[in-house]
Structure 1
Amino acid sequence: MIVHLINILAVVFIFGVLIISHELGHFWTARKCGVKVELFTFGFGPKLFGFKRGDTLYQVALIPFGGAVKLAGEDGYGKEEPKGDEYFAKPAGQRALILIMGSVHNLVLGFLVFALVFILGIQTVNYRQPLVGEMQPGFPAQSVGIKSGDLITRVAGKKVTDWLTLSKEIHRYPGQEITLEILRGKEFLNFKVIPKIETIKTAQGQETVGLIGIIPSVTREKFGVIPAFGRAGKETFRVAGLIFYYLGKLFTRELSTRELAGPVGIAQMTGQFVQTGWSGFLYFLALLSVNLSIVNLFPFPMLDGGHVAGVLIESIRKRKPSRRFLEISQTLGFGLIILLALFVTYNDILRIFSRKM
């Protein structure tokens, strides 16, 4: 019961931090550009509570998985003479900046949280050596006497120098007896083992492989403040690059759309990362923040990137698109996003129940 409560609070915390950070980017930039902010809300649905300070109403709504900033005059598109503190009274450059800064805030948040993770220390898996960390109960490695700290040097006579090579070699022998040469301390030992036959998911589908139930060793690595920020910068760019990499895989059908995760899947993953400790949980927060910053800038109606594209088109054509065009594009965009949300939620639920069967 307590574990479930912690997981729920963790989910609300993650969504809250991501949404508030994003909306603050819009909020502060709008204020700096002289645009009146009428509403700053966290969540959607029925209002729980709120207060007004200056021109802005701050409120919290029932469902904590959304948020919004309402700018003065943003619904008055097409008015001939918008007031000076209204959104459409500002030049295209300022409007684009207001739209972009939500994503910039998420990107900066991801970078800062990555830096914090590296300062606190992060567990890193040692793939550089074929060094055994743990054994899985019920698998052959434990039953034949392999121990944590053993260094596997040969599989069926073939030399292995890293974890990837070790895994590939063991995978080749499902249900077949093989000999493992192991260095324990200063002594070389030989163990005969029959890898368990298992079916695993790969990018190409399903594959039958041999598994002996060993897990690579894990070390905790800490960084000083300056190196941590350097590492955080590299990690931020790496994660951003992976988004485009996997999108490319989706378009070329090398990656199934069933792998897409929605709110339910994110909530489930949050619970899993909570179990790994603070570093793992914060890393997941940073990962989501960078993802949100990039995806939200895609030139798609209803996303900030779609609005930025509209502002750019307006600047190039020297005139605003018609109100009718905007209404149609917004409606289509909203419909597609709802369909995508339903699709990924269906994937999430299907994934959860299929694992329980």
Structure 2
Amino acid sequence: MAAHYFPYIAGVVVLGVLVLFHEWGHFIVAKRCGVRVDVFSIGFGPRLWGVKRGDTDYRISALPLGGYVRMAGDNPVAERTGAAYEFLSRPRWQRFLIAIAGPVMNIVVAFAIFWGIYAFASEPYVPPTVGEVMAGTPAESAGLKPGDIIISISGKTVSTSAASVDAIRGSAGHALEFVIQREGKEIRLVITPALKKLPNDQSMWMIGATIASQERRPREGIVAAAKDAALQTVDASKQIGGVFAGLFSGRVSVHDLAGPVGIMQLSGQAAKSGPMTLLALTAIISLNLGLLNLLPIPILDGGHVLMLVIEGALGRDLSVAVKERFVQVGLIFLLGVFAFVMYSDILRVVQNHGH
């Protein structure tokens, strides 16, 4: 029973830690700017547990789907006293720093995790191993299973996941003979790749299974590790940015996104694969969280930044009515996207359990 809930427990922990860092970024910069913070919450909804220190109520709330920092005077609709410790009383540049501090903290956390992996983790060689096998695909039909180790494809020995993928993509749809190792025994499977259309209007031969491997990698020096971590952070950011751009251009469907439930499942699978895999996934999720919050959409941190930029260009604050409408539009949009992604997550879970 415990094993059944393990993916969700791992996911809650990963999301909770990343939300903690995100909100801590807002919190620490707000405090440094002289803003009073009334609530620091992990989760939304009713308060389950907490402790008050000074002016701040540090709490854990019922719904572990995010978090928030409530600052004095941060609601443009609520009555303000004009006190210096209120958020809207601070200079515009300080409000800008407070708004971007959360996303920046997530990006820094991602970089720090990558840095630690490169500097301190010496990973042993792992042969190409099957991860997830998608339902209704050639891999499933042929009997390929998660955990199978691929030894050769059509008589050619493969030692990395890249070599395996190259063999599949270069098959031109011809049947491939896989020699795999399962529970110490060698098994031969014949798999015929299927042509799958990609979001960028290209097509690729695939079997419907993820394949991963790890080349032996020695530990790096601190400086070299920092350089590689920076490159990894930039490369991953570009890929995530490409997904966001694809969403707005229609090349990527919202159905393909993973919400909280999907992230929990991925975290559980990564945890089973080992601490390094879980750490790497945590870095990617942190980067996603940071970049997502920088999108110029009302309600998100990027939306607050956009309003501050507009106000700076105009040389005055926007009216309360404009800000209210701005927030309402963003809230409706995000609730719609969130509901659709949650529906897709749950549908995938049900379908996977059905198979």
How far the C-alpha of 1:40 sits from its partner, in A, is 0.9
Most deviating of 336-345 and 59-68: 59-68
- State the Cα deviation string for residues 105-155 of structure 1 (Å, max 9, x = none): 1010111111222322457888xxxxx778x999699xxxx983799669x
Corresponding residue for residue 197 of structure 1:
192
Change (3 A) 1:353 1:92: same
CA distance in 2, matches of 1:17, 1:112: 14
Match of 1:290 in 2: 287
Aligned residues of 2:173 and 2:195 also touching (Cα < 8 A): no
Aligned partner of 2:271 in structure 1 is 274
Q: How far has the Cα of 1:30 moved from its partner? A: 0.6
Residue type of the partner of 1:229?
A: A
TM-score (norm 2): 0.80
SS at match of 1:148: strand
Corresponding residue for 1:224?
A: 220
Matching residue within 230, 233, 238 for 2:235: 238
Q: Superposed, which structure 2 residues align to 1:2-151 within 5 Å?
A: 2-76=2-76, 82-118=82-118, 119-122=120-123, 148=151
List runs of 5+ in structure 2 lacking aligned partners.
Answer: 131-138, 180-187
Deviations 1:309-337 (A, max 9, x none): 11111111111111011111111111111
Quote the Cα distance in structure 2 between the aligned partners of 1:199 and 1:150: 16
* Aligned-partner Cα distance in 1 for 2:319–2:331: 18
Q: Give structure 1 stretches of 5+ with no counterpart.
A: 127-131, 155-160, 183-192
1:255 alignment counterpart: 252
Partner-residue secondary structure (3-state), 2:97? helix
Aligned match for 1:309, one of 306, 309, 331: 306
- Counterpart code for 1:338: L
Instruction: Measure, in 1, the Cα distance between the counterparts of 2:44 and 2:288.
Output: 22
TM-score, normalization by structure 1: 0.79
Cα 1:318/1:268, change in 2 over 3 Å: same
Q: 1:94 to 1:13 in 2, by over 3 A?
A: same
SS where residue 170 of structure 1 aligns? coil
Structure having the higher Rg: 1
Contact 1:26 1:101 in 2 (8 A): yes
Distance 1:284 1:122, change over 3 A: farther
Q: Give, as a single letter, the amino acid of the residue that structure 2 aligns with 1:224.
A: E
Matched, 1:354 2:351: yes
Q: Which amino acid aligns with 1:197?
A: T
The superposition leaves residues 152-177 of structure 1 with CA deviations (integer Å, 9 ceiling, x where unpaired) of 669xxxxxx95554223334313xxx
Aligned residues: 328
Amino acid at match of 1:265: G
Q: Specify whether residues 4 and 122 from structure 1 end up closer, same or farther in structure 2 by C-alpha distance, changes over 3 A only.
A: farther
Partners of 1:350 and 1:140 lie apart in 2 by 24
Rounded to whole Å, the distance in 2 between the matches of 1:19 and 1:32 is 20
The 3 A distance-change label for structure 1 pair 197 and 61 is: same
Distance in 1, matches of 2:330 and 2:210, equals 47
Q: Deviations over 1:199-247 (max 9, x none)?
A: 4644169989686x99675334242242222211111111110012122
Whether the 8 Å contact between 1:298 and 1:306 is mirrored in structure 2 is: yes
Name the residue aligned to 1:166: 167
Change (3 A) 1:282 1:123: farther
Work out the CA distance in 1 between the residues paired with 2:210 and 2:90.
61
- Alignment root-mean-square deviation, CA: 3.7
Percent identical among aligned pairs is: 32
CA distance in 2, matches of 1:71, 1:286: 28
Aligned mates of 1:214, 1:313 — CA distance in 2: 45
Equivalent-residue separation in structure 2 for 1:257 and 1:214 (angstroms) = 21
